[in-house]
Amino acid sequence: MQTPGSMIQDGWLNGARRAPSPNHDARPAGVAIDLVVVHGISLPPGRFGGAHIEQFFTNNLDFAAHPYFHGLREQRVSSHLLVRRDGELVQFVPFTQRAWHAGESSYGRRPRCNDFSIGIELEGTDDIVYTRSQYQQLAAVLTVLQQSYPGIDPARIVGHSDIAPRRKTDPGPAFDWRYLHSLLSSPASHPTAQAED
């Protein structure tokens, strides 16, 4: 059985498929990781599956593939992890590095959340319920992160809308925070959730 420390090696989560993104840089020296930001993404909006999210985060998106993509042409963004609808984990940036997921943001009057946070994208939208597999996988990942980075307590697991409220709404009303916290407090039990199977 793996210990929590062995679940992350050189900033990479064991069990996650790697799709390295060039969109990252070094965290400021001496800054501890003590925040997790949960996002929601679908490309194009409301459409699930396919490779567009991964292509976007790795600068390989074909902008001619859909009219919506033209507005993304100048963006260079990434996340540490993506949790797909079926629970598959894809990692783009090692946790030791600063992924470009939060944008202009602040938490507790502290700006530049990318400096001290881990960004986790869920494949979804603000108004379509997330899947049970996503909640279970997210809870498992958060448990490992909390054990590896002790500054991440439950109060410091937030949505993108919490750190950039004037710009962002994700993961949105469809995300069931109570269910996530119930999984974190009792990982062995799986209470009824507002989630798709």
Give the residue among 164, 131, 155 at the shortest CA–CA distance from 39: 164
- Check pLDDT > 80 for residue 195: no
Tokens of 26: 């070094």
| Predicted TM-score (pTM) of this structure | 0.93
In a domain, 193, yes or no: no
- The domain containing residue 74 runs over which residues? 4-185
- The count of domains in the chain is 1
* pLDDT score at 156: 97
Is 88 in the active site? Answer: no
Taking CA atoms, 109 is separated from 23, 102, 112, in Å, by 25, 15, 10
In a domain, 151, yes or no: yes
Looking up residue 88, the CATH number of its domain turns out to be 3.40.80.10
In a domain, 192, yes or no: no
CB 38 within 8 A of CB 159: yes
Catalytic position from the list 104, 121, 123, 196: 121
What pLDDT digit, counting tens, does each position of 67-126 carry?
999 999 999 999 999 999 999 999 999 999 999 999 999 999 999 999 999 999 999 999
What pLDDT digit, counting tens, does each position of 14-70 carry?
999 999 999 999 999 999 999 999 999 999 999 999 999 999 999 999 999 999 999
Tokens of 173: 């009303």
